[in-house]
Amino acid sequence: MIPFVHSSRCVIRNLPELLESYHARGGAIVEYQRVWSCLVMSRKSNHFVWVPADANRVMRSLPDTLATLIFGWWSLFGMVWTVGALVRNLSGGRDVTDELLKATGGGDVALARDAVNADIRAKRRQSIRAVIYFLAFMGVIGIIAYFCRNLGGPPENAPAPAAAGAARPPASANAIRTAQPAPAAPASASATMHLQAIFYNPGGRSTAVINGKTLSVGDRFDSYTVQAISQRSVTLQSADGRNIAFDFSGH
């Protein structure tokens, strides 16, 4: 990169063209200033122009001067910078020909062009890296959000999964069983029904064992439907709507 960096702290992109014009037609390379501001934002940039020997340097400053007059006043720093820029531009700018010739080894156009191209490539690489870093950052945020949503535990009302191989516990502490369950009897409308066990759960699903078959409310047993299960009795309903209650006394 050319060792000369002006007050704008950036490479002069049109430097090769400026040097070519100077070598071909003489004149001078002049620096003008331009100020842009808006509330808390202020920017002062340097504009380099080749001016022929017989041209009016004040007239060549008009684009930068008018832009500064319109856009330069709208912040605290902008007001200060605008006064300085107007004074410089209306004084004919600042002749930087000797500085640029010295910085480019006597005005070597090829050296200036290589430096400008190198600066363009470097800024392009910086832009690509910035995009990659931004996408990587967003990807990490997305992964963290995904794991926080999916690994934060089961929903509050979801039942806990049963451990593999664990014996199934009774429905509740109120489960009542007969000491010797009767053997399973054939399930038919005419067969005698035997209530063998009740697993009562006041806050959940209660079950009963009749003739060796485990039933819950709503299940069908032969031509009967289980209507209710209490701690000591089970109520069945026949197809014609009659209710039959069974308890451990055999009724």
pLDDT digits (tens, 9 = 90+) for 56-98: 999 999 999 999 999 999 988 889 999 999 999 999 999 999 9
Q: Are residues 26 and 109 in the same domain?
A: yes
Q: Specify which residues 145 forms β-bridges with.
A: none
Q: Are residues 24 and 115 in the same domain?
A: yes
What value does the mean pLDDT take over residues 185-201? 65
Phi, psi angles (nearest 5°) of residue 122: -65, -40
Both tokens assigned to 144: 């963290």
- Cα 41 to its chain centre, rounded Å, is 28
Pairwise CA distance, residues 60 & 18, whole Å: 15
Is the pLDDT score of 248 beyond 80? Answer: no
Residue 202 falls inside a structural domain: yes
Residue 32 falls inside a structural domain: yes
CB atoms within 10 A of CB 222: 18
Q: Are residues 97 and 198 in the same domain?
A: no
Supply the mean pLDDT for the chain. Answer: 80
pLDDT recorded at residue 189 = 43
Q: Are residues 32 and 118 in the same domain?
A: yes
Q: Are residues 121 and 221 in the same domain?
A: no
Tokens 């010797």 belong to 180
Q: Are residues 118 and 185 in the same domain?
A: no
Tokens 């931004």 belong to 134
Q: Round the CA-based radius of gyration of the chain to a whole number and report it.
A: 46
Residue 145 falls inside a structural domain: no
13 closest CA partner among 128, 133, 117: 117
Answer for the pair 181, 209: CB distance below 8 angstroms, yes or no: yes
Residue 188 falls inside a structural domain: yes
Residue 163 falls inside a structural domain: no
Count the domains in the chain. Answer: 2
Q: Are residues 201 and 108 in the same domain?
A: no
pLDDT recorded at residue 183 = 43
Q: From 110, 125, 140, give the residue that closes a domain.
A: 125
Q: Are residues 121 and 216 in the same domain?
A: no
What value does the mean pLDDT take over residues 178-184? 44
Per DSSP, 67 falls in state H
Which residue would you say has higher pLDDT here, 90 or 177? 90
Residues 51, 57, 60, 63: what is their CA dihedral angle, to the nearest 10 degrees? Answer: 130
Domain that holds residue 94: 15-125
Residue 141 falls inside a structural domain: no
Q: From 93, 125, 157, give the residue that closes a domain.
A: 125
pLDDT recorded at residue 77 = 85
What percent of the chain clears pLDDT 90, i.e. is strictly above it?
33
Q: From 106, 125, 144, give the residue that closes a domain.
A: 125
The 3-state DSSP class for residue 145 equals: helix
Residue 168 falls inside a structural domain: no
Both tokens assigned to 205: 């699903």
Q: Are residues 182 and 120 in the same domain?
A: no
What value does the mean pLDDT take over residues 153-176? 52
With cut-offs at 50, 70 and 90, classify the pLDDT of residue 121: confident
Pairwise CA distance, residues 135 & 133, whole Å: 6
Pairwise CA distance, residues 74 & 92, whole Å: 24
pLDDT recorded at residue 70 = 94
Answer for the pair 38, 74: CB distance below 8 angstroms, yes or no: yes
Q: Are residues 119 and 211 in the same domain?
A: no
Q: Are residues 107 and 20 in the same domain?
A: yes
Residues 82, 84, 87, 91: what is their CA dihedral angle, to the nearest 10 degrees? Answer: -120
Tokens 């069908």 belong to 220
Is the pLDDT score of 35 beyond 90? Answer: yes
Both tokens assigned to 233: 């009795």
Q: Are residues 115 and 181 in the same domain?
A: no
Residue 171 falls inside a structural domain: no
Distance separating the N- and C-terminal Cα atoms of the chain: 105
